[in-house]
Amino acid sequence: MATRMATRRNQVKAEPVSKYEPGSPTDSSTSGTVIDHSYEMLPPSQPVRKRNVPHDDYHGPPSSVTPSIVAASDAPSFVRSLAPSAETFQRNTEDPEPMFMEMRRRSRHSTPASQPADASFAQQSFAHPTFTDIGLKQKACNDTLGNLQTLGVSHVAAALPELVLVGDQSSGKSSLMSGLARVNLPRSAGVCTRCPLHIRLISSSIGRWSCTVSLQQDYDFQPLPNRKPRPSDVTKANPFPPWVKKSHRDTKPFKTIYNPDEIEVVLRWAQVAILNHNQSFEKFIPGEGTVADNTSLDQAARETDADFSPNIVALEIKGPELPDLSFYDLPGVFMSPEKEEDEYVVRVVKNLSLEYIGREKAIILWAFPMNVDPENSISLSMIRSSGASTKAIGVMTKADQLPPQSTHTWLSMFRGERQYVRHGYFATARPPNSHLEDAALWEKSFFNGEVCGNNTWPDEFSEFANRCGVEVLLDYLSCQLGEAFARSLPSIKDSVYNRLKQIEGELASLPELPRNVEHEVKRSLIQFLQHMKTAMAMKCTSFSSKWNTLNHNFQDCVFKMKPKCNVKDSETQTIDISSNDSEVTTPAPTPKRPRPSDSTMRNVTTPSKRQRQDVPTTPVKQEDVPMRSASRASSVVGSSAAGVIENPFTIFFNLGRSFMNIREIRDDILRKKRPGMPQHLVPDEVRDSLCLRAVEKWTFPLETYIKKTAELLEDTAHTALEESLGGLRQRLIFRECRHHLSAFITQQVASQRGLLTDMLNTEAYMIFVLNNDAFEDCKAKEMKELERVRGILRLKAMTYIDWNYATKALEKMTPEEKAWERKAFDTHLPKLSKDPYETEIGVAGFVRGYYMMAAARFVEGVAMNVNSTLLRTFRENELDNYMDQVFQIYGSADQSFYSKLMEEDEKTAKRREQFKAERIKLAEAMEIINNLENSSGDASARPVHVSLDSDSEMGEGVL
């Protein structure tokens, strides 16, 4: 290649084309102006023309330039940056006519040598004079670019210059690709057209040829349930269904081979593997995988999970005399699939080509055959619609199949008269089914005008000989790609470095695992168990305070559920025994009452004489349904962040209301009395059934008590967990500990619920009294209250007490009020006959007395049982033993067990691993770029990064 370039160089005739802006110095050594050595290379037959516009504003060659191989196609070979061309830099000093380069003023007003220490990387390194020979290092540039592409830098940091080969199906693209790669690649339709390829060629001094095949996975396969995608599923937001883009690239090494004859089989199996994304790729490695060894390649290609994949099969080919080049080969676009159900693939393949064509720094190779009209090319339509014709190169394939009658059409394209792409055209001809070396010789002979088979290359194309053949195209592409990379390298490095700093910041927020994970696990869990023991110790702790309040509220609720008795014996009387609910009023002095009449003795009065005060009462629900909250002020269970917690037992306070009345008791006695039983003797069944029915109502508050105790335990345990393992909240150990702790509490609470339920069932089984003195005291107290209220009711009926007199609880009465009421009783009750409901009042007193004694016994037993059974498991060693079985706190386990416990949650761990993998790639990319920089020969020039703002100065043109 060097010989050919030198020959071309010696043929070039140049004229001075110096250009200066007004007032600009002619010597960069005497001024701070940076000189841009931009120039154009024209074909040998054309003189060098002076440029009239800066390269930043370039929109095509001047109209004064005579059409030629390059100018006629509206394409300069290069748009130069500071890096001079390998074609012109080492000029022969004996040339009779010197070669000048265009010069123009730059916007910077300082030389690279005068840059301050905080200048951008572009100014400190690539603008450094020792880097002006970077364009000479074409191999180094292309190698570096290939390495960065392999690392996936364009995926995470910066857009990279890249060659993208596109074309329609049957456009000769596969033969062209094989010629560019200098290896026999699959040319048949089928599996080899169902995913993109990335081929990287590396010239190696080692005589051994090798090819490493890998799978670059940028997308996850998420198939739709029970059906293939439809064309309607292909959208702008979802261009490749059922493939979904990942946040990072996974690279899977597939196989390395050393025999070029194996590449076709290995490549086809690699594409089968990439189409079975959710299966292990190792199964498809030929000579190693189970599927590859037991299934034919054709069958495996027909039975893939996916019909198409945007993931990439990458080939890195090393060998002597290979060009330093890398390019992407995309599946050929087409209009109609073989099967109607694959209609969506047409859109998917088109979207893939559009995605690559639209990349910022892509150099498009448009392949189209010379035996069809290029206007019919689907790829051309896509290039035009994407506005990519300015960065496209046309490659005419199948030149040996050129119809004689269309020669004029193709000549007009070479000459730029039919301008489809800005950067001109190359022609190639590769016979099908030929060995690589034979194909190269055949092509050379064909374009030299020799008869090859039945075809001859027309003489009319002889003036474009330097645009014919794969080898010529390779030289051109290699120079173009290296030049574009050298031009973009400063901004690429800046982007890589900035992304690397961002990744470092992300990883700093996700600290690594502690060095001794076993010690950290055990220390944290032991600390947690100590916190739990302290909380359960019942010594002025938050838990003990809240639990005591819960016990008092539970006790208060059960006592307030005492069965109420309505002692009225007619509908006109209404007074309800409720020591806490009576309205507080002051009685007016009782006037002198008239002598009782027959009507008052019969407890019948006229409305005009006895206007009863209507006091609204709280409605009572059915006994088996918990009531709504009463309007009374709620008690406090404990404090919370939001303030106080309402008493959870309030809704049960009225479950004892309307429990019994004296008329119903009388009816029950009569129903259950045996014949001949004395009138005032009450069957035991009456009292027993009423007592047990009252006790059964404890089911509701008991369940609430158990539930609130469990919640209190959960809150206390989670507080201890936060205090002990709060710093490990994102780790697996925190979630696992919380999970197992909740399971332990649930288990213990369930066991405790069984014990308390047994206690309730025991109380509801039969009435039982051993402490007769306590029972008699409770019954006497209840009888006294019942008789008092019944007496007030009877005195009101006899008009000895004003009907509006309100009954109040004794503890709420003043001494004067008590004295007045006691005097009224002593004065008027002896005047009345015996109470006809004396027996029924006695039954109500018995039931209420037994209830109060049993309630005190039950509440005390429940709280004592919870303390000695449930809470004891946390104070002593049961929780310790349970946690030890799960986490091996006091024993030992494999280090991987503790390491797993210290892992983050799946999402955080995944982000961490992605950042770490990306950091490795970016650090390697920085090293690769620095190595290219250091290869300039100036070992003292070390890259120092600051924000880069010189993209426009360095030039961002691709071609």
Burial 16-28 (b: 16+ CB within 10 A, else e): ebebeeeeeeeeb
Q: Could you give the percent of the chain with pLDDT greater than 70? A: 73
Query: How many helices and strands in the chain, by DSSP H and E?
Result: 28, 13
**152 vs 911, residue with greater confidence:** 911
Cβ atoms of 925 and 157 closer than 8 Å: yes
Handedness of CA 796, 802, 807, 811 (dihedral sign): negative
The more confident residue out of 481 and 380 is 380
* CA nearest to 542, candidates 421, 639, 452, 615: 639
Tens of pLDDT, residues 363-378:
999 999 999 999 889 9
Which of 339, 341, 327, 268 lies closest to 298 in space, CA to CA?
Answer: 268
Banded model confidence at residue 637, pLDDT cuts 50, 70, 90: very low
Give the chain's mean pLDDT. Answer: 76
pLDDT of residue 910: 75
Q: What is the pLDDT of residues 641-667, one digit of tens each?
A: 444 457 999 999 999 888 999 999 999
What's the mean pLDDT in 135-160? 69
Distances, alpha carbon 649 to alpha carbons 3, 105, 333, 383, 698, in Å: 100, 88, 74, 76, 11
Nearest to 279 by CA among 305, 315, 309: 305
Which segment of 62-76, 558-572, 744-758 scores lowest on mean pLDDT?
Answer: 62-76
Q: Which two tokens stand for residue 958?
A: 């691709």
- 685-737: pLDDT as tens digits: 999 999 999 999 999 999 999 999 999 999 999 999 998 888 787 788 888 89
* Nearest CA-CA partner of 359 in 219, 162, 166: 162
Q: Residues of the chain with pLDDT > 90: what percent?
A: 42
Per-residue confidence (pLDDT) for residue 921, from 0 to 100: 81
The DSSP letter of residue 561 is T
* Cβ-Cβ contacts under 8 Å for 789 (sequence gap 6 or more): 567, 575, 577, 807
pLDDT of residue 610: 38
Interatomic CA distance for residues 784 and 781, integer angstroms: 5
**879 Ramachandran zone, left/alpha/beta (phi>0; psi -120 to 50):** alpha
Q: What is the pLDDT of residue 539?
A: 76
* pLDDT tens per residue across span 277-297: 999 999 999 999 999 999 999
Please choose, from the candidates 313, 321, 379, the residue with its C-alpha nearest in 3D space to the C-alpha of residue 204: 321
Residue 365 β-bridge partners: 165, 393
> Pairing relation of β-strands 565-566 and 660-661?
parallel
Facing residues of 211 across strands? 257, 317
Q: How confident is the model at residue 42 (pLDDT cuts 50, 70, 90)?
A: very low
- Looking at residue 495, its pLDDT comes to 84
Can you tell me the distance from the alpha carbon of 149 to that of 160, in angstroms, rounded to the nearest whole number?
Answer: 7
Give the mean pLDDT of 416-428. Answer: 89
Question: pLDDT category, 94, cuts 50, 70, 90?
Answer: very low
Binned at pLDDT 50, 70 and 90, residue 86 comes out as very low
The residue type at 160: L
- Identify the residue with better confidence: 679 or 484: 484
618, 657 contact by CB (below 8 A): yes
Contacts 24+ apart (CB under 8 A), 281-287: 281/215, 281/252, 281/254, 285/254, 285/255, 286/255
Q: Are the C-beta atoms of residues 133 and 936 closer than 8 Å to each other?
A: yes
Q: How far is CA 251 from the centre of its chain?
A: 22
Res. 765: pLDDT tops 70: yes
Indicate the pLDDT class of residue 80, thresholds 50, 70 and 90: very low
- Cβ of 638: how many Cβ atoms within 10 Å? 17
Which sequence spans correspond to the domains of the chain? 143-498, 533-884
Instruction: State how far Cα 533 lies from the chain centre.
Output: 38
**Cβ neighbours of 679 (radius 10 Å):** 7
The amino acid present at 404, given as its one-letter code, is: P
Strands 312-319 and 243-257: unpaired
d(CA 901, CA 649): 41
Residue 590, amino acid: T
Indicate the pLDDT class of residue 439, thresholds 50, 70 and 90.
confident
pLDDT tens-digit map of 234-244: 999 999 999 99
| Angle at alpha carbon of residue 392, lines to 447 and 353, rounded to 5° | 110
Second CATH level (architecture) for the domain 143-498:
3-Layer(aba) Sandwich (3.40)
Give helix 138-151 / helix 906-934 axis angle, nearest 10°: 180
Neighbours of 883 (CB within 10 A): 21
- Closest by CA to 357, choosing from 332, 337, 331, 379, is 379
Band (pLDDT 50/70/90 cuts) for residue 148 is: confident
Question: Among 39, 44, 54, 48, which residue's Cα sits nearest to residue 9?
Answer: 44
Q: Structure tokens of 404?
A: 């004689």
pLDDT of residue 202: 84
Concatenating the DSSP letter of every residue in 769-796 gives -S-HHHHHHHHHHHHHHHHHHHHHHHHH
Residue 511's pLDDT band, with cuts at 50, 70 and 90, is low
Taking a C-beta distance cutoff of 8 angstroms, is the pair 487, 957 a contact? yes
Task: Please state the rounded mean pLDDT for residues 23-42.
Answer: 35
